Amino acid sequence: MSSPVSLTVITFGTFDVFHVGHLRVIERAAALGDRLVVGVSADELNLRKKGREPVFSQDERLAIVAALKPVDEVFVEESLELKRDYILKYGADVLVMGDDWAGRFDEFEDVCKVVYLPRTPAISTTAVIEKISAGS
Ligand code: CTP
């Protein structure tokens, strides 16, 4: 008798100023498999990637993401160049990214399935920060 196949999904992001777009992508990623692993960008990586310090520290962002029901495991993503290593280390069968990254991770199709999910419209961390800063 063959054992049931368990699928591991991996996704990445900064998840700063956690909002409903983050929740939706995590829920949809989890629905594609049995176990969801989330790489949360290090503060240093976020600074390099987005040109600003995150509002919440990596430890705080990690704690928030880890507490979500669909999330099984979290780790700190130290570098964008380590994606392949993380996929292999966590035994991911599926890599999920937002479609703002469409096509950019196709090189990993030799080790896992690559899925780009549409972003939730009209919300982002940047927009929330701008809205609060403007006091509107
Ligand atoms: N995401 C999404 N829908 C949104 C915003 C983000 O599906 N409206 C997804 C991204 O595609 C990514 C994950 O959430 O897979 C983490 O994105 P992140 O860059 O942390 O969030 P943003 O809100 O896009 O942040 P920023 O404005 O700083 O770029």
Dist. CA 132 → ligand 1 center (Å) = 18
* SS3 (DSSP) at 48: helix
Q: What is the pLDDT of residues 42-62, one digit of tens each?
A: 999 999 988 999 999 999 999
| Closest ligand 1 atom to 15 CA | 20
User: Which parts of 32-124 fold into alpha helices (H)?
Assistant: 43-50, 58-66, 83-89
Dist. CA 65 → ligand 1 center (Å) = 13
Q: Evaluate if residue 133 carries a pLDDT over 90.
A: yes
Q: Evaluate if residue 118 carries a pLDDT over 70.
A: yes
Tell me, what DSSP letter sits at residue 32? T
- Over residues 64-71, mean pLDDT: 98
For residue 5, the model assigns a pLDDT of: 84
The overall average pLDDT reported for the chain is: 95
Rounded distance, CA 23 to CA 33, Å?
16
- Over residues 3-26, mean pLDDT: 94
**Chain centroid, CA 99 distance in Å:** 12
- Over residues 31-52, mean pLDDT: 96
- CA-nearest residue for atom 16, ligand 1, is 13
Q: What is the pLDDT of residues 70-112, one digit of tens each?
A: 999 999 999 999 999 999 999 999 999 999 999 999 999 999 9
Residue-by-residue DSSP string for 83-106 = HHHHHHHTT-SEEEEEGGGTTTTG
The pTM is what?
0.95
Q: In terms of DSSP bridges, do strands 113-117 and 94-98 run parallel, antiparallel, or are they unpaired?
A: parallel
Confidence of residue 136 (pLDDT cuts 50, 70, 90): low
All domains in the chain, ordered by first residue:
8-133 (3.40.50.620)
Share of the chain above pLDDT 90, in %: 92
